Amino acid sequence: MRTLPLSKVYQLLEPGPVTLLVTADEGRANVMAMSWHMMMEFEPPGIACIVSPAGYSHEALEKTGECVIAVPAATMAERVVGIGNCSGRTIDKFERFHLHHRKAQIVAPPLLVECIANIECRVVDRRMVRDYGMYILEAVKAWHDPAQARAPMFHHRGWGEFAMDGDIVRIPSNMR
C-alpha cells in the first residue's frame, strides 16, 4: 500500500452515474452535470446532492426548491461534459446541446426526453447548504424510457476520465 493524496479520495468513491440536474428560474430552464450525489432513503426516495453556489443552477434551486435529476446514457457522455463545462447564466444549454424536453408532472423544471430516466424532486432539507452546498431532495415522481432499460450509464473518475458501465452480474445479497 502506498499513500494516496487525500485530493484523490473522491475518485475512489465517485463512480455513481453522472446525472443532469435540471432547474427552472422564473420559467427559464437550465441544466448542469452532477456526479456528487448519494441515495439516502428507499421510499420515498431521498437523495443528497452537492450543487455548488458558484453555478446558476444553485441560484435556481435555492429560489424554487425544485429540480429534475435526469440520468443520461453513456452515449450522451460528450454532450453531458459539455453541459457541465459552461454556465446557463450566459448560454441556453437546451439550444446549444440540442436537448429535447417535455413538461414534468409535478415540478416546474422539464424532463429531458433523451435520458434513460428522469426524477422529479423537491428540496426537503437545506441545513447543509451553507456549509457544503448540499441539498437533501425527495423524489416525488419518476419516469423511465423502457427502450433504454439496458442502456449503459457512465461514471466520473475525475480529470476528464470516465468509466462506462460494463457487465451486470447477480450476487445474492440481503441488501434490498
Ligand X SMILES: Cc1cc2nc3c(=O)[nH]c(=O)nc-3n(C[C@H](O)[C@H](O)[C@H](O)COP(=O)(O)O)c2cc1C
Residues at the contact surface with ligand X, assessed by CB under 6 A:
18, 30, 32-36, 50-52, 55-57, 81, 84-89, 156
**Minimum CB distance to ligand X, residue 174 (Å):** 30
Number of Cβ within 10 Å of residue 136's Cβ equals 19
- Closer CB to ligand X, 61 or 104, in the complex: 61
**Rounded to a whole number, what is the distance in angstroms from the first to the last CA of the chain?**
33
At residue 151, the 3 state secondary structure works out as coil
**Minimum CB distance to ligand X, residue 110 (Å):** 15
- Closer CB to ligand X, 85 or 173, in the complex: 85
Residue nearest to ligand X (CB): 84
- Closer CB to ligand X, 22 or 139, in the complex: 22
- Closer CB to ligand X, 91 or 149, in the complex: 91
**Minimum CB distance to ligand X, residue 125 (Å):** 17
Grid cell locating 120: 422529479
Give me the DSSP letters along 61-101: HHHH-EEEEEE--GGGHHHHHHHTTS-TTT--HHHHTT--E
- Asked whether 34 and 69 are in contact (CB, 8 A), the reply is yes
**Minimum CB distance to ligand X, residue 81 (Å):** 5
At residue 153, the 3 state secondary structure works out as coil
